[in-house]
Chains A and B, each alone.
Chain A
Amino acid sequence: MAAYGAAEALRAAGCDGSVTLVSAEPVVPYDRTTLSKAFLQGQKTVEEILFKPAEHYQELGIELRLGQRASAVDFDRRELVLEPGERLPFDTLLIATGAEPVRLRLPGFDLPGVRYLRSLADAQALREDLSRADRVLVVGCGFIGAEVAASARTLGKQVTVVDPLPVPLAGPLGQEVGSILAEVHRRHGVELRLGQRVAELRGHRRAEEAVLESGERIACDLVVVGVGVRPAVALFQDSGLPIEDGILVDEYCATGIPGVYAAGDVANWWHPGIGRRLRVEHFDNAAQQGAAAARAIAGDPQPYAPVPYFWSDQYDLNLQYAGYPGPWDQVVLRGDSAAPSVTAFYLRQGVVEAVVTINRPRELRPGRRLVEARARVDPAVLADPSTDLRALAQSVRQAE
């Protein structure tokens, strides 16, 4: 995603140098967000999830090196080493390696029938397995786990989800919103095992049964693991690049090495608007940060200071988030939690840090404006259904 955002933006910014896009995946950039949803449910084909066909890159004069994994980088000679040994010289390097799923090393997780979901190839394999499975066990109820569970239920599978937290997604979204989502999954017939962990998987040729730490045994013919991702930095581990929960970059996406930039899930950047570092694992950030890096490369650096944004679709539920991840001390709900049709505001010392809408898309952008303005709003006003959020956001904007 970040690579695609950068490729487009580089040419748009008038950069006419030679550009090469190297990807270990054998496919042009595609919309990864569909993999757990429309693609998994068979509603979209590979062609339909590509951002642009291969010819588009030809038109932009961008050379594609697909299915070619970089095995090393040499910053002294300014060369990227590809498997099996070709060396690609560069003046400027944009690192957009993304993130990789965390692998569970518990007994039985090496059996066939255990899947992770990150790449198109993962999604194709999972879709194939899913077509033959009746009982699906999802390990981890983060966004990937929750979306895969929803897709599997939509396809009519029996689904059990195990997560160590008592409330799913409580980390990024809090207890209040996490509880609402848990209820939606229960209502759709998902068996939730919250506050529990899988101890091991058992099976002869494939995973056939999970044993929880509680001793409960859950029969399954497919296991999907979604327990988070890590920034994909292995290639740069001993390269001299500063790495700390991702590749450290400044507000212009620049690393400590001149001409070397990073963007997307792999980049841990200094956000000048809020005065701290962020690393965001979502589509919108990858697209925008890739473009921001491209502008910096093209000689027009502008501080990258967005309000991070993402969405998640589960069943017919649409969730959108705009804001700064991090601690809050108050959650204000507006609307109907049971329907659900609700907006949640996350406040820290009275300042709106983030907003989440569930099936209330029209409140997202006004909420986002409050976040952007670092507005202080009386919680009672936010919760009051008669408050016109657009007018409120407008007045805050004008007061800036």
Chain B
Amino acid sequence: MTAPEGYVAVKRYDEIPEGGIVPFEVNGDERILVKLEGKIYALSGICTHEYAELAEGDLEDHVIYCPLHGSGFDLETGRVTALPATQPLPVYDVRIVDGVVYVSREPRQG
């Protein structure tokens, strides 16, 4: 199985628990996978406000909250839903091929 061009394989879909936040790295870049209502989201793993690992954060209503200061980011778009962060969180495209979750190397633009 080869990854789609520009994507990296991360994990088998079945191995990610519903409501789970799974940290992973691409070339030392920390990211997270989130499974919510069966759908997979891929985002940067570090809050854009101050250094905090979002894998330690919390999910509520399709928003991931930073564990340290409560910044909120929309899972779909990375848009800030709650300060103190003001910069959006980079989001990555996800493809599922033969039960394997692939994530784009480059963040989605705009």
Q: List the interface of chain A (C-beta within 8 A of B).
A: 5, 31, 33, 38, 51-52, 283-284, 287, 309, 311, 313, 318, 320, 361-362, 364-366
Contact = CB atoms under 8 A, between A and B. Distances in A.
A33 B50 CA distance: 12
B70 A313 contact: no
Contacts of A33: 84
A362 B55 CA distance: 11
A283 B85 CA distance: 12
Nearest to A5: B83
Q: Which 5 A-B pairs have the closest CB atoms?
A: A361-B67, A365-B58, A287-B83, A51-B86, A311-B69
B26 interface: no
Contact of B67 (A38, A309, A362): A362
B68 A311 contact: yes
A52 B86 contact: yes
A311 B84 CA distance: 11
Nearest to B67: A361
Contacts of B68: 311, 313, 318, 320, 361
Nearest to B69: A311
B32 to A, nearest CB: 15
B83 A283 contact: yes
Give the most central of A38, A52, A284: most B CB within 10 Å.
A284
A309 B71 CA distance: 11
Contacts of B67: 318, 361-362, 364
A362 B60 CA distance: 12
B56 interface: yes
Given A320-B70, A362-B58, A365-B60, A284 B65 contact: no
Interface in B40-75: 50, 56-58, 60, 65, 67-70
A313 B83 CA distance: 16
Contacts of A309: 70
B84 A283 contact: yes
Contacts of B58: 361-362, 364-366
A227 B74 CA distance: 38
Nearest to B66: A361
Contacts of B65: 365
B55 to A, nearest CB: 11
